[in-house]
Structure 1
């Protein structure tokens, strides 16, 4: 072997050895029982990136349940919303979509302009909407979570944990199952645009039902995913991936380990998992976008090559993507009626939603509007 080639190989091996091995947060939960099947650094503070939008959607679902907003009301792109960094919807200033369409674009495309527009429409202002997000987080018992914005673009104070993200996902499914199809949608068509999800499991892993991906340099590539397969209902959280390939393949691998029995209950509920309260959130900018990125990616690829060129993949299914068509309502100005009749609003819930006790502890109800949202809870045992 030529000397230069031996030197390059030795350098690559040394970089792999020195770079951090995979030690980022991983979590697998049985959604039927809330049992933890696997947890690694699940309470470690982490920047959520666009996984923030799980809470953004949840707050909207609460407001829909209280009747303060309707699915038909227009969500208009303000100048502030338009000025957000990508990912974006492509809609111009003053254009509008219905709240229902906005939710689909928020979840599937992870559009930051839509997140701000929704916050301004539903909360009256972005700041007031974020207050609702933090109120919901407190009621859910998310002790590692604090929100500064509704989209997840990086802010040092925007923080969560794998444990808290799993609980948000459980709340969405158990309190508002009617909206779960939004999270399993892979494509939104808006005019000539085809807005696609980054959740590769939706088209490559049988049984995937959602939910959300996210990325900023400070967090790496993250995913919260749900799968219904072989009579099992599972949830996985992967944070800090070095690539979309790694993030998606790791989530699929965790699901396969759970389905095969290699992961089993640890005698702990996800609700009782501890958070590292007070610890500083991990900042991955150097490893993902900075000086250490090359070595970090090389180490991660060496440790987990699934899905790389000429390597096997867990994402081998060929699933037709679920699609949704949104409608651009055009430019809307104050005082101008919508271009279609608006049906009268019928409240989604005529009575408050039943509150559930877990471990004999009740969380506070929603502070405005009187609606009481149940905690995530295990399904009753089959008789």
Structure 2
């Protein structure tokens, strides 16, 4: 980050009382080697917002691999799930989709109701699923990460770092590459609704393969992005953007610097990066949603104008957006007794023991055998007297 930008941001933060937060976390990693190409405050604790859903998806992928659930497992929108704040799927209470469709809606639309519905389905309860998330984070060595919910709606205890987010993304790709197309999808069609991703790199930056965006006031605008271009496999993390424009353009700019050779290996891998222990996550709310937001955004626009009106942009591609169609299975209710079967029918007149008709096997239904069935022939009508 240029010194001028750091100084300007420091002055803004000084005026707002956030003296300790004078740079936003940035990280660029070569996915083929795990080499760090650029890192700035990559170990700084940060609120993940909807980047939380990367871990939500990973936990589900593990359970799919174990066989505890399948992609066809129904995921039902409970009242608890329905009551979550937007972004949402738009599905009513008791409606259901398959787990596969739920994952697509989770990743692309970043639907908070779907995150809870998935957690309740896969974990038995939201709390139990969050425990699974934290267990997975511990197994991954994510020392800055702690989860309180599966969606990322703000809770001051929900925290991660750019370093930890990069590792989650790498785990997803290396362990479950079959699910990567979900993160490259730009639109979900659900009934008459068209649910769109906020990752504009998917339609404007050639080579983009995913992955996820996130935003709450306390975190600013975040992104984890992956790009495959010219034989390079890159990953960028940008946290705390003042706008979606800045976040997306900055991620694309970092990718271009890496592709052009301006960013080179730093001698560290993403695994060797250290998280900052004992440091509180920065709360960006005063600068993003508070009374100082207008001044802060104006300062950021002046320092980084890429993508503004009449300004150049890194996102100049015209890429067809990948679409996926999810299906609303309707309302599925449990705990309702099924109708009792009718008593077996006992014929008053015994059926003949043999049938003198031609075979109707292929007429009844191809492949369905009727051997062994005794079907009475119609009796002839009485002769007229």
Q: Is this contact kept in 2: 1:152–1:158, CA < 8 A?
A: yes
1:102 aligns with 2:102: yes
Question: Shift of the alpha carbon at 1:22?
Answer: 7.0
Match of 2:91 in 1: 91
1:74 aligns with 2:74: yes
Whole-angstrom distance in 1 between the partners of 2:139 and 2:272: 15
Question: Shift of the alpha carbon at 1:105?
Answer: 0.1
Match of 1:156 in 2: 156
Q: Is this contact kept in 2: 1:17–1:299, CA < 8 A?
A: no
SS at match of 1:182: helix
SS at match of 2:309: coil
SS at match of 2:133: helix
1:70–1:179 CA distance, 2 compared to 1 (3 A): same
Match of 1:332 in 2: 332
Match of 2:197 in 1: 197
1:225-304 alignment to 2 at 5 Å? 225-304=225-304
Whole-angstrom distance in 2 between the partners of 1:278 and 1:294: 31
1:1-383 alignment to 2 at 5 Å? 18-20=11-13, 23-334=23-334
SS at match of 1:271: coil
Question: Shift of the alpha carbon at 1:168?
Answer: 0.2
TM-score, reference length from structure 1: 0.83
Whole-angstrom distance in 1 between the partners of 2:195 and 2:293: 28
Q: Which runs of 5+ in 1 are unaligned?
A: 1-14, 338-383
SS at match of 2:71: coil
Q: Which runs of 5+ in 2 are unaligned?
A: 1-7, 14-20, 338-385
Q: Is this contact kept in 2: 1:22–1:303, CA < 8 A?
A: no
Question: Shift of the alpha carbon at 1:16?
Answer: 7.9
Match of 1:363 in 2: none
1:315–1:336 CA distance, 2 compared to 1 (3 A): farther
Q: What does the per-residue CA deviation read over 1:7-53, in whole Å, with 9 as the maximum and x for residues that have no partner?
A: xxxxxxxx988325972000000000000000000000000000000
Whole-angstrom distance in 1 between the partners of 2:331 and 2:165: 36
Q: CA RMSD in A?
A: 1.5
Whole-angstrom distance in 2 between the partners of 1:207 and 1:335: 49
SS at match of 1:188: strand
Whole-angstrom distance in 2 between the partners of 1:16 and 1:59: 37
Match of 1:365 in 2: none
Whole-angstrom distance in 1 between the partners of 2:315 and 2:72: 37
Q: What does the per-residue CA deviation read over 1:182-214, in whole Å, with 9 as the maximum and x for residues that have no partner?
A: 000000000000000000000000000000000
Which protein shows a greater Rg?
Answer: 2
SS at match of 1:240: strand
Higher relative contact order (CA 8 A, sep 6+): 1
Question: Shift of the alpha carbon at 1:292?
Answer: 1.2
Higher mean C-alpha deviation, range 27-36 or range 291-300: 291-300
Whole-angstrom distance in 2 between the partners of 1:175 and 1:48: 22
Q: Is this contact kept in 2: 1:16–1:302, CA < 8 A?
A: no
Question: Shift of the alpha carbon at 1:272?
Answer: 0.5
SS at match of 1:234: strand
Q: Is this contact kept in 2: 1:116–1:150, CA < 8 A?
A: yes
Whole-angstrom distance in 2 between the partners of 1:304 and 1:22: 16
Question: Shift of the alpha carbon at 1:335?
Answer: 5.2
Pairs aligned (count): 324
TM-score, reference length from structure 2: 0.82
